[in-house]
A and B are shown apart, each in its own frame.
Chain A
Amino acid sequence: MLGITRQTITKDGKYYILLFIALLPLPLAGDYVTHIAIMIMIYSVTSASLNILVGYTGRLSLGHAAFFAIGSYTSTLLSMNLALNPWLGIIVGGLLAALFGLVLGIPSLRLKGPYLAISTLGFGIIVQLLLINLDWLTRGPIGIPNIPPLPGGMIDLKIKSNFFYVALTVFILIIFLLGLLIKSRVGKILIAIREDEDAALSIGINVSLFKIFAFIVSTFFAGVSGGLYAHYLRYISPAMSALSESIHILSMTIIGGIGTTIGPLLGATLITILQEVLRPYLEYRYLIYGSLIIVVMKYFPSGMHALLQVIIKGVRK
């Protein structure tokens, strides 16, 4: 179906299973490393979701954190106020984020380049202001603490090493699915639209429909990763929708390698580790991200992914 052959699934699947197995013993390295790994995996999903938009349909979004925040607030509020199972809450959070994605996607069909970027920027600010000012619902700027953890039956998912395996499974599954989507017929059509919109129209591609589809998929997974984040850290605040957060996610995607499957994972890993290393110099972090983005755009337009390929080729020789 969708032009994905069984060979692709088994071939790709093998790599993801290998990655899964390789990461299994990680919690042995202690709680701190486990925590960083969980954050990397959550942000990998967010960054990969943004990559659908930026990397495969060529649309710059400066408001992706808003969808992350919508996912996390939805899941949090549903679990706290209506006692909804957080697992279900995460899915509902993704769906609501996707609904907003659709609402933002339709008007932004007419916008290109910087104009689209500005509209997504505006969206992020609106969401942040709503989260701050709808305090009867969101508890305003102080945020929401004590969010219920994911229920794990017999297993206590408040323990980091246990949550790690949940995050790992979800992460591998989503990355695998997004990878397949890109290799599918739909993925090829998205790439065609990115490469040349007019040419895509001229061979009968309903460009608007696919762009909206990309918006929906992208924002859905941003919402899901937001939900995962909320039930892991168990504290959320309106700052999650800030422009700086969107740029944080965008840096991961760009530095890792836009339009590549593993780029977002590399980017999320680098940026998350950098953030830890640079913790004493937190106020300079965007200075460093900014410089990194400039260097990457200038010398490695396809990011760390390209760098990795060069290294692999070198090793093989």
Chain B
Amino acid sequence: MNDVSLNVKEHDIFGIIGPNGAGKTTLFNIITGFYKPDSGRILFNGVDITGKKPNEIAKLGITRTWQIVKPFLGMTVLDNVLVAIYVKKGILRGLSEHTAIEKAEEILEFVGLSHRKHVLSEALPQGERKRLEIARALATEPRVLMLDEPAGGLTNIEMDEIIEVVKKVRESKVTVVLIEHNMKVVMGLCDRVIALNYGKKIAEGTPEEVAKNEEVIKAYLGERFYVES
């Protein structure tokens, strides 16, 4: 990654697009503490969080999901969410078990998975696994939710469900940063978008502006296919 700067406004849905290998996930890994940047800073509400550990960053209020989903497979859907609630609210004291379960059920309802709560998460199809990951991330009560290709590999119906969930997340006053290839998702959801290519920022603006940007089209289709219109 080289010289990428971005500013995410509170309560926006902020999109990151770019061809494969552009560095989108790398950027996510740097922001959430899984990789350490060689230089540069990450500020969250004016506080420098560069170089903090992933679990510390999650505690501060930035929670991510994964391009290749990582549910806790051997656990039920409810337990997946409960674990995140325990971590957020405290293990020794924290919420009573009853309240914790109620809260977990509320979150599962929010993403439309309450009918699956007692199922082992390994039994879920891809679309539901993606929603479970969002539910688990929401259980940490993030201020910023970072979604790595929430619609990747989904059918059209599953994709619409995810879009609805992400819209509801924004309404609940959580800022969303998402990586996405699917332009339908980007156009339908994002307030602002940046495009990356070879680890550099090549465009920034509203989804419409970025979609029309010369550099972006070149990056996706290659120099030869860019026709002056």
* Chain B, Cβ-Cβ closest to A193: B72
Q: Which of A140-197 contact B (CB under 8 A)?
A: 185-186, 188-189, 191-192, 194-196
Question: Judging by beta carbons under 8 Å apart, are A195 and B75 in contact?
Answer: yes
Q: Please give the distance in Å from B195's CB to the nearest CB on chain A.
A: 25
Q: Determine, out of A118-126, A204-212, A309-317, the stretch whose residues face the partner at the interface.
A: A204-212
Within 8 Å of chain A (Cβ to Cβ): is B205?
no
10 contacts between A and B (CB under 8 A): A2-B91, A3-B91, A185-B91, A188-B75, A188-B86, A196-B71, A199-B66, A201-B53, A202-B137, A203-B58
The complex places the Cα of A203 from the Cα of B59 at a distance, in Å, of: 8
Within 8 Å of chain B (Cβ to Cβ): is A12?
no
* Chain A, Cβ-Cβ closest to B91: A185
Our pick among A1, A196, A204 for the contact of B87 (Cβ within 8 Å) is: A204
* Chain B, Cβ-Cβ closest to A188: B83
Question: Judging by beta carbons under 8 Å apart, are B71 and A201 in contact?
Answer: no
Question: Judging by beta carbons under 8 Å apart, are A195 and B63 in contact?
Answer: no
Within 8 Å of chain B (Cβ to Cβ): is A198?
yes
Within 8 Å of chain A (Cβ to Cβ): is B112?
no
Our pick among B34, B55, B64, B97 for the contact of A3 (Cβ within 8 Å) is: B97
Within 8 Å of chain A (Cβ to Cβ): is B227?
no
Task: Encode contact with A along B41-64: 1 for CB under 8 Å, 0 otherwise.
Answer: 000000000000111101100011
Chain B residues positioned under 8 Å from A188 (CB to CB): 75, 79, 82-83, 86
Within 8 Å of chain A (Cβ to Cβ): is B84?
yes
Range, interface on chain A: 20 to 34
Task: Encode contact with A along B130-155: 1 for CB under 8 Å, 0 otherwise.
Answer: 00000011011000000000000000
* Chain B, Cβ-Cβ closest to A206: B55
The complex places the Cα of A28 from the Cα of B96 at a distance, in Å, of: 46
Q: Please give the distance in Å from B64's CB to the nearest CB on chain A.
A: 5
Question: Judging by beta carbons under 8 Å apart, are B91 and A189 in contact?
Answer: yes
Question: Judging by beta carbons under 8 Å apart, are B55 and A201 in contact?
Answer: yes
Question: Judging by beta carbons under 8 Å apart, are A202 and B72 in contact?
Answer: no
Our pick among A191, A200, A202 for the contact of B32 (Cβ within 8 Å) is: A202
Question: Judging by beta carbons under 8 Å apart, are B86 and A185 in contact?
Answer: yes
The answer to whether A204 and B74 touch (CB under 8 A), given A3-B100, A188-B82, A188-B86, is no
Chain A interface main SS type: helix
Q: Please give the distance in Å from B222's CB to the nearest CB on chain A.
A: 34
Question: Judging by beta carbons under 8 Å apart, are B72 and A191 in contact?
Answer: yes
Range, interface on chain B: 35 or more
Q: Which of A41-59 contact B (CB under 8 A)?
A: none
Q: Please give the distance in Å from B32's CB to the nearest CB on chain A.
A: 7
Within 8 Å of chain B (Cβ to Cβ): is A5?
yes
Chain B residues positioned under 8 Å from A3 (CB to CB): 86, 91, 97, 100
Our pick among A2, A194, A203, A207 for the contact of B84 (Cβ within 8 Å) is: A203
Interface residues of A (CB under 8 A from B): 1-5, 185-186, 188-189, 191-192, 194-196, 198-207, 259
The 9 A-B pairs at the shortest CB distance, nearest first, are namely A204-B58, A199-B70, A195-B72, A201-B54, A203-B84, A196-B70, A185-B86, A204-B59, A185-B91
Within 8 Å of chain A (Cβ to Cβ): is B88?
yes
Q: Please give the distance in Å from A58's CB to the nearest CB on chain B.
A: 10
Our pick among B34, B88, B92, B93 for the contact of A204 (Cβ within 8 Å) is: B88
Question: Judging by beta carbons under 8 Å apart, are A198 and B97 in contact?
Answer: no
Question: Judging by beta carbons under 8 Å apart, are A205 and B72 in contact?
Answer: no
The complex places the Cα of A201 from the Cα of B87 at a distance, in Å, of: 11
* Chain B, Cβ-Cβ closest to A186: B91
The answer to whether A205 and B87 touch (CB under 8 A), given A198-B34, A199-B66, is yes
Q: Please give the distance in Å from B54's CB to the nearest CB on chain A.
A: 4
Chain A residues positioned under 8 Å from B59 (CB to CB): 204
Chain A residues positioned under 8 Å from B75 (CB to CB): 188, 191-192, 195
Within 8 Å of chain A (Cβ to Cβ): is B119?
no
Question: Judging by beta carbons under 8 Å apart, are B92 and A1 in contact?
Answer: yes
Within 8 Å of chain A (Cβ to Cβ): is B4?
no
Chain A residues positioned under 8 Å from B136 (CB to CB): 199, 203
Within 8 Å of chain A (Cβ to Cβ): is B221?
no
Chain A residues positioned under 8 Å from B88 (CB to CB): 204
Q: Please give the distance in Å from B102's CB to the nearest CB on chain A.
A: 13
Q: Please give the distance in Å from B139's CB to the nearest CB on chain A.
A: 7
Q: Please give the distance in Å from B96's CB to the nearest CB on chain A.
A: 9
Our pick among B64, B92, B97 for the contact of A202 (Cβ within 8 Å) is: B64
* Chain B, Cβ-Cβ closest to A194: B74
Question: Judging by beta carbons under 8 Å apart, are A205 and B70 in contact?
Answer: no
Chain B residues positioned under 8 Å from A202 (CB to CB): 32, 54, 58, 63-66, 70, 137
Question: Judging by beta carbons under 8 Å apart, are A205 and B73 in contact?
Answer: no
* Chain A, Cβ-Cβ closest to B90: A185
Question: Judging by beta carbons under 8 Å apart, are B34 and A199 in contact?
Answer: no
Question: Judging by beta carbons under 8 Å apart, are B79 and A201 in contact?
Answer: no
